[in-house]
Amino acid sequence: MREFTTHAPAVPEAAGGLADSLYDTAERAPELVQLSWRAEDGRWQDVTAREFRNQVLALAKGLLTHGVRYGDRVALMSRTRYEWTLFDYALWSIGAITVPVYPTAAAEQVRWILAETQAVACLVEDEDAAMTVGAVCDALPDLAGIWQLDRDCVAAITEDGRGVPDALVHRQRLGVAAQNIATVVYTSGTTGRPKGCLITHANLAAEADALLAGWGDVLRDTGGDQPATLLFLPLAHVYGRAVQIAAIRGGFRIGHIPEVSTDALLPALASFRPSFLHAVPYVFEKIFQQARRAADDAGRGELFEQARQVAVEWAAAREQKAFGRGPGPGAALRLRHLAYERTVYPKLRAVLGGRVRSVMCGGSTLRRELGLFFTGAGLRLYEGYGLTETTAAITANPAGRQKLGTVGQPVPGASVAIADDGEVWVSGGSVFGGYLNHPRCTAESLVDGWFATGDLGRLDDDGYLTITGRKKDLIVTSSGKNLAPTALEERVEANVLVSQCLVVGDDRPYVAALITLDPAALAHWLKTHGREQADPWTVLADEELHVEVQRAVAAANTAVSRAESIRAFRLLPREFSQEQGLLTPSLKLRRAAIAEYYAADIEELYLP
């Protein structure tokens, strides 16, 4: 097994609970703006460290009057919003344990999570979520309360705690040790029923402090303004929680927005104007595609494509220079890049609010070409890798030495190794302590201080990790050929028309694929091909459209052997969705569910 240990200094081990940093900051810098929430008129309302501490303390006292005690588990079932952060810190202030639940979860998923964690209460956002929880209440004997945000439960609970002395909260807070469980976060469940990961205060502190130690200086490079980030990652996912905690501990300002659709996100970015972002590749794909379509509609498609190519070449040349493998951009390329820096790239950055300098990207693989484009357009982009079990990022591209297309090196205090079968193993302070009620799975996954991730990968000579697939996703054709489908799928998805690609071929004579199309891209394609009046989904048999998708498949096939190449594909009339049960809440493919749902379509791919 080959090991690579980061050269960055290890993060000091945290003491006490996560809420302590909030109270410390309120004493040290009471007027520091820590959070902002968006009022109904769209304006952002700032909350200072002292105001936030007071709100957290008041809510914590109210929670005590509602019977929440040290060690109790409370579920949070809401989209990303200010109140989630408020409840997180109020519950941690009294030593309670938070249990995130996706607001899109089905009743059976909610029943399973709340029953297994023995949750004593559940915070929901609206009436629909309350009804979902209410429908399974009979199977939840421990559940004593359902609190509803759109019925102003925060004010009601706070009012109930008015007579509770502050000292009672502080006594419980100071009794929280770093090794106490802070939260039980459930895995995405791509291969079966989700499992609850037991994540401690120390795990979350180690993750947040590693991000601040490795990239804090980069994030603070704002030209003198306070660093600020707009949080649109779901707080039900461990990545969003890690960003929240790092911002609180680092003295950064956080704004919340509950939706990631471009219609909701872009206006929020324009008004909040963050200095850095954490996002998943999906967001950058959508922004890029929208920018390209806008350029086409304005008759500037060729100019945009030239600017894109220059950005990619410029960023690639700079990367080669950083690793001592080239002289950097030549004079001609520098001049072309400067020309587009005056005309094209500022408009792209303006879409993100105009102040964003750094972006950290994780959750799935970012296409190298896309990463190079955004880097060349003036954003410092750092791709990373992690899982729920590692409390988000365990590797990331280091500041000043990004190698796009990889997920970087271990974060401060972490180590990475590749097992003999290609599996990625990791260790460090952010690695969880085990699965709730699953001792056998815990013993199989945690071995001698290492966590076996289930992902396949490779380390290059510089110690940068590239993820190549999942062990459980390996396809074995009837001829005995093994292949990891993820890389092939991502290459097909690089085409602007393609939304999703699922490669199939287990026990089959060759590899095939199910492909969905992006509705907005398809509508744009129809318009540019003079067919804007056609129903987008009635043209799936269109020969010209098939030729376009075939080009995407052929381009992907150039990176693999013939035995691994996609020999047939089928266009589907709709995208895979969570509503169908075909995507996890973090938008990962549920492969087995898709194969079952489209079994007839897969069979037709192999008809003689």
CATH number reported for the structural domain that contains residue 455 in this entry:
3.40.50.12780
Residue 21's pLDDT is what? 96
Dihedral of the CA atoms 96, 99, 100, 106 (nearest 10)? -150
Residue 8's pLDDT is what? 59
Q: Are residues 37 and 165 in the same domain?
A: yes
Q: Are residues 284 and 404 in the same domain?
A: yes
Rounded CA separation 195/192 (Å): 9
Q: Which amino acid is at 482?
A: N
- Closest by CA to 149, choosing from 174, 167, 129, 179, is 129
Residue 190's pLDDT is what? 52
Instruction: Look at residue 26 and tell me if it is in a domain.
Output: yes
Residue 590: give its domain's CATH number.
3.30.300.30
Q: Which of 13-17, 362-366, 395-399 is most confident?
A: 395-399
Is residue 196 helix, strand or coil? Answer: strand
Kindly report the average pLDDT of the chain as a whole number. 92
Q: Are residues 51 and 183 in the same domain?
A: yes
Owning domain of residue 159 = 15-212
pLDDT cut 70: percent of the chain above it: 98
Q: What is the mean pLDDT of residues 152-162?
A: 97
Q: How confident is the model at residue 66 (pLDDT cuts 50, 70, 90)?
A: very high
Q: Are residues 450 and 535 in the same domain?
A: no
Please state, in angstroms and as integers, the Cα–Cα distance from residue 319 to each residue in 114, 364, 401, following that order: 48, 22, 7
Residue 7's pLDDT is what? 57
Q: What is the pLDDT of residues 193-220, one digit of tens each?
A: 789 999 999 999 999 999 999 999 999 9
- Residue that is last in its domain, among 470, 501, 531: 470
- Residue that is last in its domain, among 409, 440, 470: 470
**E-strand stretches of 302-341:** none
Q: What is the mean pLDDT of residues 530-547?
A: 79
Q: Are residues 432 and 488 in the same domain?
A: no
Q: Are residues 386 and 496 in the same domain?
A: no
Minimum mean pLDDT range among 24-28, 133-137, 576-580: 576-580
Q: Are residues 42 and 116 in the same domain?
A: yes
Q: What is the mean pLDDT of residues 81-96?
A: 98
Instruction: Look at residue 92 and tell me if it is in a domain.
Output: yes
Q: Are residues 451 and 492 in the same domain?
A: no
- Residue that is last in its domain, among 196, 212, 228: 212
pTM to 2 decimals?
0.86
Span between the terminal Cα atoms of the chain, in Å: 45
Residue 536's pLDDT is what? 67
Please state, in angstroms and as integers, the Cα–Cα distance from residue 231 to each residue in 81, 272, 285, following that order: 9, 11, 18
Q: What is the mean pLDDT of residues 361-376?
A: 90
Q: What is the pLDDT of residues 8-51, one digit of tens each?
A: 567 777 789 999 999 999 999 999 999 999 988 889 999 999 99
Instruction: Look at residue 531 and tell me if it is in a domain.
Output: yes
Minimum mean pLDDT range among 196-200, 319-323, 338-342, 536-540: 536-540
Rounded CA separation 537/522 (Å): 9
Q: Are residues 74 and 199 in the same domain?
A: yes
Q: Are residues 457 and 492 in the same domain?
A: no
Under a CB-based contact definition with an 8 Å cutoff, are residues 413 and 389 in contact?
Answer: no
Q: What is the pLDDT of residues 424-453, one digit of tens each?
A: 999 999 999 999 999 999 999 999 889 999
Residue 548's pLDDT is what? 92
Instruction: Look at residue 241 and tell me if it is in a domain.
Output: no
Instruction: Look at residue 227 and tell me if it is in a domain.
Output: no
Q: Are residues 174 and 41 in the same domain?
A: yes
Residue 480's pLDDT is what? 73
Q: How confident is the model at residue 533 (pLDDT cuts 50, 70, 90)?
A: low
Which structure tokens are listed for 81?
Answer: 């919003």
Residue 476's pLDDT is what? 83
Instruction: Look at residue 262 and tell me if it is in a domain.
Output: no
Q: What is the mean pLDDT of residues 232-245?
A: 94
With a cut of 90, say whether residue 585 has pLDDT above it.
no
With a cut of 60, say whether residue 321 has pLDDT above it.
yes
Q: How confident is the model at residue 185 (pLDDT cuts 50, 70, 90)?
A: very high
Q: Are residues 380 and 527 in the same domain?
A: no
Domain count along the chain: 3
